[in-house]
Structure formats: C-alpha cells, structure tokens
Amino acid sequence: MTWIKRLGGAPRELKLFAFASLAMGVAYSIFDSTFNNFLNERYALTAFQRSFLEFPRELPGFLVVFVSAILWFLCSRRLGALSLVLSFAGTLLIGFFAPTYASMLFFLFIYSLGQHLFMPVASTIGMELASEGKTGQRLGQLNAIRNLAAIAGSFLVFLGFKYLGFTFQHAFVLVAIGLGIAAVLMFAMQPEANPRPGLFLKLHREYNLFYLLNVLSGSRKQIFITFAPWVIVTIFNQPTQTIATLMTIGGVIGILFQPFLGKMIDRLGERIVLAAEAVLLVGVCLGYGFAKFVLPEDVAFIAVCVFYLLDQMLFSVGMARAMYIKKIALQPADVQPALAAGVTIDHLFSITVALVGGVIWNTFGFQYVFLLGVLIAILNFFVALKIRIPQRNEA
C-alpha cells in the first residue's frame, strides 16, 4: 500500500480531498451499517414499505442535475462542501427529530440530497487531481481511502453495539461529526481556476451510450443497496452486527482491490472491465435469490455473505463510467454536467426498480427480484461491448 505513504508528499488539495473522503467514508459507513436495523426496530416496516422508502431516498438522485443547474454559480469543491452540510443536517434530524415514519422520510430526503449531490462532484474532483493516463489509478486510490474509512466506521458499529451499549442515536451523532469534518475540509480547498459550466440541462446525442450505461447502473444498484441487505436482515434474520461485519471485511478487501481495479481500467479499458462486471453479476444475483433453496441453511448464509462481498467490490466499477465520459467528452466543460445527468438518469431507474422490486417481492417472493437482476446484468453486458474510445488524448 505504497500509495498511502505517498499521500504525505501529495499536493495540498489532494491531501484535503483525501482526508475529507476519509471522514465522509467513516460517516457513511456508520449510517449504512445501522440504517436497515434502525428502520426494522424503530418503524417495523414491511418489505413493501422498505422498498417504498427508496422513493424519498433516491428522488434526490433524480433531482441532481436540476439542483446542480440551480447552483451553477458554485464550483465543484464548494458544491461538495454544501452537499456534506445537507447530509449533516439530515442525519441529526433523522436521529433526534423523526418519531414517525412520515417525518423520517422527509429528513431522509435532506440527507440523501446532500449525499447524491456529492456523487458527480467526487468523480469530477478525483479526475481533476489525477495525472494524465492515471485517472483510474487516482480514482482507485481515493476509493481505497473510502474503503479504509468503511472499515473504521463499520468496525466501530460492531464494537459499539456489541460491547459499548450504543444506541442508534449514538451512531447518528458519530455520522454527523464525520460529515461535519468532511465539510470543513472541503471548504478549505481552493476553488478551481476554471468556472463550472452552466449547461446542466442539455443531453448530448454523442453521450447516449454513457446515458444507457447509467440506466442499467441505476437498475442494478437497488439489488445491492436495498434488496441484498434486506435478504440478510429478514430472510436470514441477522442482527445489526452482521451487515457491519460484512462491510468491515469488504473494506479490508477494497483497500487493495480499489487501486488494482483502477489500474486495470487504465490498462484494459472501460469496455472489458464493465463487461466482466456484468458477467459476474449474473452469478451474484442467482446466488442471492436461490442459495437458500439449493443449499443447507448455514451454507446458504455463508454463500450469500460471499456474494454480498463480491457485489460490494463490483459496485466500485462505477469509476469506469466516469472515466468513459471523460474520454469521450467533446470538451472538458461537458464532464461534470454529463456526470450529473448520469446520476439523474441512474436514479430515475433506481426508484422504478425499487418500487417494482418491492411489488415483486411481496407478490412472488424475494428470489424473483434477483431474477430481474440477472436480466439487467445480461443487458449491461451487451451494452458494455458497444463501448469505443476515440483515439485522442485524455482531456
């Protein structure tokens, strides 16, 4: 892990962004490790209510391109800081001012708006801080830092809930502290020399394949974010510590895997990496859906945990889509608006799949949700094969 040692001699802006990513990663890890069990214990949700909750959670992702257009006067680094402040506020409101399901949905919207506004900003800043020809390596290193943070956050949840008497309020306070530190560090970064572009609401025909990749990414995403942990928590009846433990293990693996994945994208190209991801996802979805029916209970649970870890690793392949739009962009100013549009498209289909998946789960059984995931993965494979990179230098 020589890249960690090199961070000491890195430029100031890279250091600030790396430490902001670390603080943010700890916070998000604590939130993700506890939120499913918080919902289950506080509100006793049905599977359909849980899937419906993805509407206010994912709606901010759909609104990203519109909110970014409204905030066009903020550079990406200031927009990133503002987004962290929104998540900070949403966290405290959920933890201390949401006695009812309806109030929690509204505060979750605020938290999620900040989280989703940061997504295109993170990719934009990461690519800005990369050397030419090493974009994947830089994004992989930054993702590895977030994995290191995930270890700290999820391990803290494990220790806190098992040995230190943590409540969910303790967890939410720690999340808010992490997001607050990250926001301060982002505010400390120097604004970019180039102003942010104002054209966020225009789709370019030349980027249609990128948009389609985001359609499939958003559809596939809910399998991991919503339904995979819900299988572990409800089908296998696991406590809070289980998801936290899996996220810890995934974080350890990710410290090495993320930089490796970034290098592989630089070396092999986006087409091969995205196609390979699709093939692996077919197996993962089949495992989620049918391990319980073809394997003994204990073995099935272990298998699903392995699939969860593999799915967690594959989720990082999203950096290949960001690199793809950077390489095909007609001009550098198109990159962040295209990424914002990609987040909006991603979440339009993410919301749809969450609602449809909840209906499928309740009507036919959870395994059929994952058959839908298999279909999405197959489509993703054929779309990925259509990727072609123009023969020109990275902008």
- Give domain limits for the chain: 2-190+205-384
φ and ψ of 138, to 5 deg: -65, -45
Instruction: Report d(CA 340, CA 322) in Å as an integer.
Output: 11
Tens digit of pLDDT per residue, the chain (395 long)?
A: 554 556 556 788 999 999 999 999 999 989 988 888 888 888 877 767 776 787 788 788 889 888 888 887 888 899 999 999 999 999 999 989 888 888 999 999 999 999 999 998 898 899 888 877 788 888 888 988 988 887 888 889 889 988 888 889 999 999 999 999 999 999 999 887 655 555 556 777 889 999 999 999 988 887 777 788 888 888 888 876 787 788 778 878 888 888 899 999 989 989 999 999 999 999 999 999 999 899 998 899 999 999 999 998 888 888 899 899 988 888 877 888 888 888 888 888 887 887 888 889 888 988 999 999 999 999 999 999 999 887 654 43
With vertex at residue 357, the alpha carbon angle to CA 228 and CA 339, rounded to the nearest 5 degrees, is 80
Overall pTM surpassing 0.75 (yes/no)? yes
| AA identity, residue 209 | L
Q: Counting Cβ atoms within 10 Å, is residue 132 exposed (0-12), middle (13-18) or buried (19+)?
A: exposed
Q: Where are the alpha helices (DSSP H) in the chain?
A: 2-6, 12-43, 47-52, 54-70, 76-96, 101-128, 135-163, 168-188, 208-222, 228-230, 240-268, 270-294, 297-314, 318-328, 335-364, 366-384
With vertex at residue 326, the alpha carbon angle to CA 320 and CA 331, rounded to the nearest 5 degrees, is 165
Distances (CA, A) of 71 to 190, 203, 220: 18, 18, 29
Are 261 and 253 within 8 A, CB to CB?
no
- Position 52 scores a pLDDT of 76
Instruction: Report d(CA 297, CA 274) in Å as an integer.
Output: 33
Are 196 and 334 within 8 A, CB to CB?
no
- Position 174 scores a pLDDT of 95
Q: Which two three-digit tokens encode residue 34?
A: 């506890």
2-190+205-384: CATH homologous superfamily? MFS general substrate transporter like domains (1.20.1250.20)
With vertex at residue 291, the alpha carbon angle to CA 289 and CA 297, rounded to the nearest 5 degrees, is 130
Query: DSSP secondary-structure letter at 234?
Result: I
What SS3 class is residue 164? coil
Q: Which two three-digit tokens encode residue 384?
A: 């990925």
C-alpha dihedral sign at 49, 46, 112, 315: negative
Structural Rg of the chain based on CA atoms:
20
